[in-house]
Structure 1
Amino acid sequence: MENTQKALTKKACIAIAISTLLASLPVAFFVSWSIWFLTAVSSWILTCVLLRLSFSSFLQALDALQIGLLNFKDGDFSNQLAYQSKDSFGDLCHLYNETAKQLRNEKQWLYQREMMLDKMLQSAPQALLLMDEKGIIVFANPSAQQLIGSATALEGRSLSSLSKGIPKEIFDAMEHASDGLVTVTMPVGEEQMWHSTVGKLLLNNQPHNLFIFKQLTRELNRQEVAVWKKVIRVISHELNNSLGPISSMLHSGKIIAKKLDEARLNRVFSTIDERIEHLCEFIQGYGTFAKLPAPHIKPIMIAPLLDALQMQWPCSVSCDIEVISADKGQLEQLLINLLKNAHESGTDTDAIALSIYSINEGIKITISDRGPGMSEAVLTNALLPFYSTKSSGTGLGLALCREITDAHNGQISIRNRARGGLSVELILPN
């Protein structure tokens, strides 16, 4: 800036010297006073023009700098200064341009991070609600909207206005801002376990509460099933170790009994053989549950699968989709188990219905019958391994259905129908 001022001062001095020289010429040559006056005016005009030319680029650069700083104030860093002179003011303009470029890059980086964070919050499985000190919801992700059961956005609504749609247990946890486990009774009678976490933070210098609700039901079910699988593997291993020698000794005993021609001994060995065969089938069934492989999910044409099912287990079918993403073998086993249960309920074949249609959450599969249904106690335990109300049941049918559904990141629910019968609903992501 000092060099610029010196250059401008030098130009101004030259202009003044020229004007002074032109003004003194009339005196030197003794011309008339009028000519001298015209010459002085011309000199003054020339001086003004020279000064204007000297300061014009400098003034334009100052105006651009002022506009750029105003843009900085408004958060706009796209303005660049074109002043490129090799002086102090040129260095200042270069520094301004570099600063604008850095701020522009940082703003873009922050915007991308903000978009990534918003995407993570919107797709998070946990229900997130941010509420100010007046009880007004500032932010709620889709999981929170689904938990509360609202078809519209929650932002701007008060906690008291949600008291009708939100589960009572969740409402109480939010009202008292309490941490811990929350048992929620769903409309279909199913109990779900949630974990409530409350955090306090400042936003725009105002206190806010951040509520995080995480569903633990599926995780607890997976842990429970993992324990059952471990128990089954241990029992199967020990039984197989014992059944091997018993089968070998039984075979030798049958040979000896055949030589002795003792009918009673043959009946004893035949009965033992039947029970061993039944026990092997029993162990094999539990082994299938304990060693269920991870699903190989790929697109499946649904029509051929339904045709094959109807040949074995007749039912009425309604379907509005053509392709479903799942493990074909496991999905087929799942549907066979449910249709088999429906047929064993004692209902008429015409009353058994299988429907498959698309919903917002994915694909919904419903299998319903008009049998006697289930009591509340049976509904509560129906999906647990080893639980069965049938005299010859293994208690693995519905447990295997839940295991397959969970492996596909889906949901399964069982409920009694209004006019009698049972309905099993599956929701699989698509």
Structure 2
Amino acid sequence: MGIRLSLVTRWTALVGTLLALGIIIALGLDHLLPGRALLVLVLSLTCVVPIAVITMRAQIRPILSLFRALEGTVTSYKDGDFSFSLHWPQNDELADLVAAHNALGNVLREQRLALVQRELLLDTMVQNTPVAMLLVGDGASGAGGAGAIVYANVSARQMLGDGRKLEGHRLSEILSQASPALVEALERGGDGLFTAGEGEDEEVYHLARRSFSLNGRKHELLLLRQLTHELRRQEVQTWKKVIRVISHELNNSLAPLTSLAHSGAELVRRGQTERLPQILETIEERTRHLESFILGYARFAKLPSPRIEECPWPGFISRLASQVGLTVAGTLPPEPARFDPAQMEQALLNLLKNAHESGSPAADVTLQVRLAPGLLRIEVMDRGQGMNDAVLTNALVPFYSTKRSGTGLGLALAREIAEAHGGRITLGNRDGGGLMVTLILPA
């Protein structure tokens, strides 16, 4: 390891050497020209100063070059290029500065490489997810939202833009060519399911949305997931469950009936008829239970076509309120509705009973009727526990229930009634807790 010579020591030695050289030259000239000390000093300085200047410039030039190199690498760091490093041959303070600068470059280079790898991994995951992702900034994301699309993954481009790039376009521009069901789901706000298309082309989607600030500006992330294939798979599983439930219920009822009938016949054979009324009463009770059970499923499976008629709202709501507690939000439309009163009453009774069973305070179970261009919206709202994503996904599937004694027919029957009227049903969690179920019917 070489001897370490600091900058201060080097410059001090240089200045001392030049002064000594000047003195030696002055003494030599003084011997040659005695009595002319001033002339000797001037002559010596004339020789020494140019040498000093040349020597100083030779010493300073590499330092200035190093400073320019440092400035260049710092500029490269600002531009995100960390591939540069410096070399300083001396063993002094500048060598420490160069070593620290190179070490900083190595750290930044490693961090940048790790960040790039993480970004590539995240981008690969986001681009290949089946969930359509839209990041919208500066503006509301409703149907009339003026927000610009900041980011859209491959699924979003295929679902909303026929594969073309969406970044830079206004959300309102994209929605003008999208399904009306999606527009309505965005207007409704919150998370929830909606259905697009008709008949065999019907598709079920789940919309989720999250707002946050990015670089001090408001953004909203929209997540759109197609659930049709998953729902069909769930429906197959549910039908298998239905067969097991019906088989179980039939066996539970038929086995006692068989036993009781055998016991009754044996008592008659023996002439002991005093217990026959009790046996017949039990048989009648089990038969009625079985009949009620079968009729409940048959009512869902064989829903008759609705008989559309004009129905004034005050009388219709009064009949509902006499059977289940509810609070009417807003004002009822003055025009009478056009639907099958019996079927719509059954659908809303199911929804209102579900709202009461959700854990919501009774006063917070509300019903609101709103008219939109060409549409009638009947909303049943509560402040219960709401639904998680798994329940939202399966809630409209027949016979799916999270209740221990539930049949899983309430929401499914309401959906069948809405669709029989040419409408549909949507579910969504409310801000602040609770659920909102909306029947959307033609006006």
Q: TM-score under structure 2 normalisation? A: 0.48
Give the TM-score taking structure 1 as reference length.
0.50
> Bigger relative contact order, structure 1 or 2, given CA contacts below 8 A and separation 6+?
2
